[in-house]
Amino acid sequence: AMLKNIAREVWAFDLEWIPDVASGRRVYGLPNDMPDNEVLHLMWAKGGATDDNPQPFLKTILCRVVSVAAVIRKKNSDGSVNLKLMALPDTQSDEGHKALDEAVLLTRFLQGVGRAKPQLVGYNSHQSDIVIMVQRALAHGLWLPDFGARPNKPWEGVDYFAKGSDFNIDLKDSFAPFGKGTPSLHELASVSRIPGKLGTDGNDVINYWLEGRVREIVQYNECDALTTYLVWLRAANLAGLIRPEHYLMEQQQLRELLTQRSTAVGNEHISEFIQAWDQLQKT
Per-residue confidence (pLDDT) for residue 248, from 0 to 100: 96
Look up the pTM and report it.
Answer: 0.95
Q: Beta strand 63-75 with 9-19: parallel, antiparallel or unpaired?
A: antiparallel
Query: Which one-letter DSSP state was computed for residue 253?
Result: H
Give the pLDDT confidence of 111-159 residue by residue, as tens digits. 999 999 999 999 999 999 999 999 999 999 999 999 999 999 878 899 9
C-alpha dist (Å) from residue 218 to 69, 72, 121, 133, 224: 7, 16, 18, 17, 10
Q: Which pLDDT band, with edges at 50, 70 and 90, does 1 fall under? A: low
pLDDT beyond 90 at 179: no
Q: What is the mean pLDDT of residues 15-22?
A: 97
Q: Which pLDDT band, with edges at 50, 70 and 90, does 188 fall under? A: very high
Q: Which pLDDT band, with edges at 50, 70 and 90, does 96 fall under? A: low
pLDDT beyond 90 at 66: yes
CB 189 within 8 A of CB 195: yes
- The C-alpha atoms of residue 199 and residue 208 are separated, in whole angstroms, by 14
- The C-alpha atoms of residue 266 and residue 283 are separated, in whole angstroms, by 29
pLDDT beyond 70 at 94: no
C-alpha dist (Å) from residue 213 to 5, 98, 190: 39, 8, 27
- DSSP E strands in 119-257: the ranges are 119-122, 168-170
Cα dihedral sign for 187, 270, 89, 84?
Answer: negative
With the CA atoms of 162, 166, 168 and 173 taken in that order, what torsion angle do they form, in degrees rounded to the nearest 10? 100
Per-residue confidence (pLDDT) for residue 199, from 0 to 100: 73
- As a whole number, the mean pLDDT across the chain is 93
Per-residue confidence (pLDDT) for residue 200, from 0 to 100: 73
Give the pLDDT confidence of 210-234 residue by residue, as tens digits. 999 999 999 999 999 999 999 999 9
Give the pLDDT confidence of 256-275 residue by residue, as tens digits. 999 999 988 888 999 999 99
Mean pLDDT check: name the lowest of 96-100, 131-135, 204-208: 96-100
